[in-house]
Homo-oligomer: A and B are copies of this chain.
Amino acid sequence: MSRPKPHTVEAPPLQVDEWLNASAPIDLAGLRGKVVLLYAFQMLCPGCLAHGLPQAERVHRMFREDDVAVIGLHTVFEHHDVTGPAALRAFTQEYRWSFPIGVDRPAPDGNIPMTMRDYALGGTPSLVLLDRRGHIRLHHLGSIDDLALGSAIGRLLEEGAEIGGGAGPAASGPARMRDAARMPAWRRRPSRGSAAGPRRSAGTAPVRFRKG
């Protein structure tokens, strides 16, 4: 392979004290060998709810856990008083997000929380894509469509096959494309009944029934 390697940098560590949808704290070092999608959001940001979070959920459901790790990051920089961890838990429960979500650590000296500052994120929603070595390869503020994001993930997955993946997950990747007359074989996580992801799922039970 004669193609020159891009010069990239390792992603800063996540500064998170509290996790949702995770049985233990997550650190990036433990995810070496996987492509990582970091999705920064705020629970009251309309673009996050309309676009970013459903996309994160789709990626989480589409790819094998060994190939792609999706991590939500609640980077609160406005409405701090009403979007704390308790509000985030209620929000996450109502929308049934299934990927791990970390609460970005508030900075002692300002509004921008610490991981958001270290990654120089310009707002929410923002996504950061890390290759299998943990290096930053894509840094995007705002909407990105599924075709572009899928392609970027696909390239990093295939690239990873050489760099560090060994004969493991990647070995079975392209070969299994052959028989994909149904949904891709690399879809691993069980769907909640609808190919359209969280939006449709929410659609099946959009009503909150009173209990008493």
**Assembled-state Cα–Cα distance A186/B151 (Å):** 11
A174 and B202 within 8 A (CB): no
Residues of chain B with a CB closer than 8 A to A139's CB: 178-181
A189 within 8 A of B: no
Interface of chain A residues 151 through 190 with chain B (CB within 8 A): 151-159, 161-162, 165-167, 170-171, 173-175, 177-181, 183-184, 186-187
From A6, A42, A82, A122, name the one whose CB has the most chain B CB atoms within 10 angstroms: A82
Contacts A154-B154, A174-B159; A147 near B59 (Cβ below 8 A): yes
Known: A4-B171, A124-B208. A154 touches B158 (CB 8 A): yes
A201 (CB) vs chain B CBs: closest residue: B46
- In the complex the two chains form, what is the Cα distance from A122 to B182 in whole Å? 12
A113–B164 Cα distance when bound, in Å, is 46
* Number of residues from A at the complex interface, CB < 8 A: 98
When the two chains form their complex, are residues B42 and A206 in contact, meaning their CB atoms are under 8 A apart? Answer: no
Which residues of chain B come closer than 8 Å to A108, judged between CB atoms? none
| Of B79, B154, B170, the contact of A151 (CB 8 Å cutoff) | B154
* Interface locus among A11-19, A20-28, A84-92: A84-92
A147 to B18: give the CA distance in the assembly, Å: 30
Q: In chain A between 133 and 160, which residues have their CB closer than 8 angstroms to a CB of chain B?
A: 136-159
A178 to B44, CA, bound (A): 28
**CB of A78, distance to nearest CB on chain B (Å):** 7
Q: Which residues of B contact A193 (CB under 8 A)?
A: none
* Chain A 47-86 near chain B by CB (<8 Å), digits 1 or 0: 1111100000011001100000000000001110111101
Give every chain B residue within 8 A of A42 (Cβ-Cβ). 208
The reply to whether B50 and A199 contact each other, CB–CB distance below 8 Å, is yes
Closest B residue to A8 by CB, please name it: B178
